[in-house]
Amino acid sequence: MLSSNPRTTREPDPALLPIPTHVAIIMDGNGRWARQRGLPRVMGHRKGAEAVRTTVTACGELGIKYLTLYAFSSENWKRPRDEVDDLMGLLRHYLRNELNRLNKNNVRLRCIGRRDRLPRDIVDLIEESEAKTRDNTGLTLILALSYGAHAEIVEAARTIAEKAASGEIRPEDVDEKLFSSHLQTADFPDPDIIIRTSGEQRLSNFLLWQAAYAELLFLDDYWPDFTKEKLLAAIDNYRSRERRYGARSG
């Protein structure tokens, strides 16, 4: 029997539902977007860079506190040399040309991943951008560059093992909280939602530890076609879900 009490039957006001604190995106489909249009792959990457700007701006306007973008994976180094060079060139362009915009919009930039594999001038640009935006208090934009979750987890385990061997910590001290504190994302909350574009339905070595309780959303759209409206639709999808973290629903 349906209850006559409106408090138990009324749908919640969507405007009052929480927005995610941390959105993470696997930006996939640049090459296929270009191929469908008979364009070189680099044009897809360039169009994808425009989608990055749109998404960063939209997240700041919505009050999202953290946005992680999977910009270049550790596996991407296996791509043809000319494509890697194009991607590095776009990254240089972004870091050189977006710094003032990020500062103006109170965005803090952070990067995770293997910097030792990146060209030295790009590392310098990353360090400069991080330093100049360090005190910004709006959106934190986290670029995953030369990043792989397996390597991140192995490195954390190695560091903890070295500390245990030296007596700095005891084996019984190792728990999930301590392990998380040794990951590159230790300063950030885990993502609430991970979005992947292009129709693929896998995480591809992205934030595997941190994704344990993230909501996953796979979109058919290619990344260059990702818009503010599609971000808003993804957030509405997130709001419609019940996050139980392994517990039973009410």
Burial class (CB within 10 angstroms; exposed 0-12, middle 13-18, buried 19+) of 239: middle
55, 143 contact by CB (below 8 A): no
243 is written with which tokens?
């996050």
Catalytic center residues: 28, 76
Measured distance CA(3)–CA(48) in Å, rounded: 50
Measured distance CA(67)–CA(191) in Å, rounded: 9
- Cα 22 to chain centroid, rounded: 8
111, 143 contact by CB (below 8 A): yes
